[in-house]
Amino acid sequence: MTTNADADTGVQSPALHTAMLRALELASRGPATGVNPQVGCVIVNAAGDTLAEGWHRGAGTPHAEVDALSKLAPGAARGSTTIVTLEPCNHVGRTGPCSDALIEAGVTRVVYSVTDPGPQSCGGADRLRAAGIDVRGGLLAETGEAFLGDWLVAARLRRPFVTLKWASSLDGRAAAADGSSRWITGAAARLDVHRRRAASDTILVGTGTVLADDPALTARDEAGSLLTEQPVPVVVGRRAVPASAALFDHPEQPLFFDGQDLPGVLADLHGRGLRTVFIEGGPTVASAFVAAGLVDEYLIYLAPTLIGGPQLALGDIGVTAIDRQRRLSIHSLDRLGDDVLIVARPQPASI
């Protein structure tokens, strides 16, 4: 299987860079949630003129390459170059293999950015080469990998990309001593959370949060109205949730797990085609995911306030000595009103 390390000087021309950037722009038009990646495609002739463009519009629709080819007359793609953000697939799902479609169209060259990590869908590059097509991988690979982000993590690990969010005071408290926590952060931070909820496939909390706060777990706008996109509520824990709980009014059907097997929970969600999990549970759930090494990204909303007391944002995460601390890398730092949002990701384990 071809990897991004196979990139070579044969794909370094400015024209190909421009075409790949355009393909990434096209890819961004597709849905950013669900099991399928966002993919864009540009087909150019020998002179570098664009013949057709395409992108994937979601599960069950033509893939980007087929979408682009469909806009050309029979035979018009013969001798052309296809630039695509992800290695063409080589399997039959709801649609046929893109590799076969490109071969049948008579393209002579395929340039892609990121290698497909799917065990079933990969292998398109090898299939194309076997048919005599010049294939080059790794063009703008770093940009392509960053663009595909959570989808790549989900595809490689066979589980959803997990984001853990909490809001806390500067001294790390997520609530006052009596458990009250509304509101530590300001309106701008809370609005940002709702935007991120809407961009996630699922929102996950523990039964403790449901019983204590009775959250709706919906994504809402500034006026309190429901946003168009809503995450699927996921609740983990053994305690019973009353039928009167607000989450049962959620537009999406809630999912319940006992929480004893967190990798199993994530595997189940992945099997349902859910690729992102947004954790908003309390310290018990948050600490369990951190301790299990299942968090891919941290969203920490810090408010300029001091609370003190026992209600920490995290509990025991298995750090028994300072040399076992869990180091993070700061990905971004943003001001939201009076609050600060820190986006951090785990550092790769040292060898």
| Per-residue pLDDT tens over the stretch 11-50 | 668 999 999 999 999 999 999 888 889 999 999 999 999 9
60 and 164 inside one domain: no
Q: At what angle do helices 14-27 and 141-157 cross, to 10 degrees?
A: 40
104 and 164 inside one domain: no
335 and 260 inside one domain: yes
Which of 122, 155, 188 is the C-terminal boundary of a domain? Answer: 155
User: Distance between CA atoms of 154 and 296, rounded to whole angstroms?
Assistant: 10
Is 12 contained in some domain? yes
pLDDT at 127: 94
43 and 102 inside one domain: yes
Q: Is there a catalytic annotation at residue 142?
A: no
Strands 339-346 and 40-44: unpaired
Domain of residue 249 covers 158-346
pLDDT at 94: 67
84 and 105 inside one domain: yes
pLDDT at 59: 84
Look at residues 35, 69, 260 and name the one whose alpha carbon lies nearest to residue 150: 35
Which of 108, 138, 155 is the C-terminal boundary of a domain? Answer: 155
Low-confidence ranges of the chain (pLDDT < 50): 1-9, 350-351
149 and 171 inside one domain: no
69 and 107 inside one domain: yes
Which of 120, 155, 190 is the C-terminal boundary of a domain? Answer: 155
Is 351 contained in some domain? no
CATH code of 100's domain: 3.40.140.10
Catalytic residue (choose from 65, 87, 280, 297): 65
Is 254 contained in some domain? yes
Is 337 contained in some domain? yes
Q: What DSSP assignment string belongs to 103-136?
A: HHHT--EEEEEE----TTT--HHHHHHHTT-EEE
